[in-house]
């Protein structure tokens, strides 16, 4: 077992750290407050190669491994978890599936600009009645000659308002349950496609989350990814990798909470000395650091399994389950250490808590992760 990062991985980590501190940090709190999408930041992430990190260079990507992706995601999310999720969705949920199962024509037309950050992608699986129960897809895609006609509603779609390309999961054969679901590429501006509602959220407020409406939306049959009926497995396999991205996002928030706590504890004085001199604070910081390192090792293990073409779905579910809990706990502890100052917007820790909570919900709730993990352990 080797715990050393390669020179390339360290360079990516450093580049991401510098970018996040120089370009995202100055505006992160304000964008959160105003619910402003980070257009400039996302454009620069694209220029750095961070929007298609694991896509081969021939398809516009950076040709890097999943470990590099985890390192970059942690650095970006440490400063701005909203940017983290925008980046994660484009990398793990959109570019990944197109690269794995797209046709050459789909790759040239969509993957190349998505991976280069010239287009933004969204992944539309969730519906009002299909959250955890993801196979209960009410959106219908009906074949008509060389086209499919899509009708239905998607909700809670990250990047939805700003996406140029949306991967839409829809039922093509109601009689076949999860085997009757397919995936389609829908382009912004397609007739019958509209953005229905922008959500006001507790956290990750600088990223957009919207409902999408499809009313007789026609897409060419050549925009279907894989065979008819492959859509549910497409979504599940894609989410296996997506969960590594969200675990890394959680890790970033947790690490930011710890760093802020250490800094504050050293300068805040009570009873005549810095609060870092009190064992109550020291033990909280020790527990935070221990849990964060465990979460980081789990996330990197999932990434290493993926990079070496070994089964990684169960490990990515474990990493997300654990890292998301660590993020929420670390943010809560950071607020406690900051006392009253942790509860107001003068410091970032209240944002960390609001951002952390969603990591226990999206890309599969913690309860769904437990289903995935236990099924893997209990199957014959």
> Contact between 17 and ligand CAA (CB under 6 A)?
no
Q: Tell me which of 127, 350, 360, 363 is the catalytic residue.
A: 363
Q: Which stretch binds ligand CAA (CB under 6 A): 102-110, 124-132, 146-154, 298-306?
A: 124-132
Q: Judged by CB, which is closer to ligand CAA: 37, or 123?
A: 123
* Secondary structure element (H or E) that encloses residue 157, with its range: strand 147-158
- Total residues at the site for ligand CAA (CB under 6 A)? 23
> Contact between 180 and ligand CAA (CB under 6 A)?
no
363 catalytically annotated: yes
CA separation for the pair 334, 354 (Å, rounded): 12
Contact at 8 Å (CB) between 331 and 360? no
Of 237, 301, 357, 370, the one binding ligand CAA by CB under 6 A: 237
Helix residue spans in the chain (DSSP H): 7-19, 25-34, 39-47, 66-79, 81-88, 96-101, 104-106, 112-115, 231-267, 279-307, 313-338, 349-358, 366-378
Q: Judged by CB, which is closer to ligand CAA: 211, or 276?
A: 211
Q: Judged by CB, which is closer to ligand CAA: 55, or 358?
A: 358
Phi-psi region of 375 (alpha: psi -120 to 50; beta: other; left: phi over 0): alpha
> Contact between 188 and ligand CAA (CB under 6 A)?
no
**Structure letter (DSSP) for residue 247:** H
> Contact between 125 and ligand CAA (CB under 6 A)?
yes
Contact at 8 Å (CB) between 123 and 181? no
Of 28, 85, 185, 298, the one binding ligand CAA by CB under 6 A: 85
> Contact between 138 and ligand CAA (CB under 6 A)?
no
> Contact between 355 and ligand CAA (CB under 6 A)?
no
* Secondary structure element (H or E) that encloses residue 225, with its range: strand 224-225
Give the Å distances, CA to CA, from 380 to 267, 315, 362, 377: 56, 19, 29, 9
Of 108, 132, 222, 263, the one binding ligand CAA by CB under 6 A: 132
> Contact between 167 and ligand CAA (CB under 6 A)?
no
> Contact between 178 and ligand CAA (CB under 6 A)?
yes
CA separation for the pair 94, 192 (Å, rounded): 22
Q: Active-site residues: which are they?
A: 363
Residue ranges binding ligand CAA (CB under 6 A): 85, 89, 123, 125-126, 132, 134-135, 158, 178, 232-233, 236-237, 239-240, 313, 362-364, 368, 371-372
């Amino acid at each position: 077992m080797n715990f050393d990062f390669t020179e390339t991985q360290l360079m990516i980590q450093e580049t991401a750290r510098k970018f996040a501190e120089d370009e995202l940090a100055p505006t992160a709190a304000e964008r959160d407050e105003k619910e402003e999408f980070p257009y400039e930041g996302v454009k620069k992430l694209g220029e750095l190669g961070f929007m298609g990190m694991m896509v081969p260079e021939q398809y516009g990507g950076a040709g890097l491994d999943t470990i590099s992706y985890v390192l970059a995601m942690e650095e970006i999310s440490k400063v701005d978890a909203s940017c983290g999720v925008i980046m994660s969705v484009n990398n793990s949920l959109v570019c990944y599936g197109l690269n794995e199962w797209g046709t050459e024509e789909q790759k040239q037309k969509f993957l190349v600009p998505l991976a280069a950050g010239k287009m933004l992608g969204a992944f539309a699986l969730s519906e009002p009645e299909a959250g955890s129960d993801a196979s209960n897809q009410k959106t219908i895609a009906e074949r008509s000659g060389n086209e499919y006609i899509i009708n239905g509603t998607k909700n809670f779609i990250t990047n939805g308002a700003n996406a140029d390309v949306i991967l839409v999961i829809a039922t093509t054969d109601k009689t076949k349950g999860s085997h009757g679901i397919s995936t389609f590429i829908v382009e912004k501006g397609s007739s019958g496609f509209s953005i229905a509602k922008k959500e006001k959220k507790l956290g990750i407020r600088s990223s957009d989350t919207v409902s999408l409406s499809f009313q007789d939306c026609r897409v060419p049959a050549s925009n279907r990814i894989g065979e008819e009926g492959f859509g549910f497995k497409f979504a599940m396999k894609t989410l296996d990798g997506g969960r590594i991205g969200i675990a890394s996002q959680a890790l970033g928030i947790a690490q930011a909470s710890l760093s802020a706590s250490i800094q504050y504890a050293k300068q805040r004085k009570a009873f005549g000395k810095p609060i870092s001199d009190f064992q109550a604070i020291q033990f909280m910081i020790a527990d935070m650091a221990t849990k964060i390192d465990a979460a980081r090792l789990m996330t990197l293990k999932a990434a290493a399994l993926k990079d070496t073409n070994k089964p990684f779905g169960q490990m990515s579910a474990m990493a997300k389950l654990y890292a998301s809990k660590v993020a929420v706990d670390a943010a809560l502890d950071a607020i406690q250490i900051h006392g009253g100052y942790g509860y107001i917007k003068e410091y970032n820790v209240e944002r960390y808590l609001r951002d952390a909570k969603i990591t226990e919900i999206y890309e599969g709730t913690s309860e769904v992760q437990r289903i995935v993990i236990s099924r893997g352990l209990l199957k014959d």
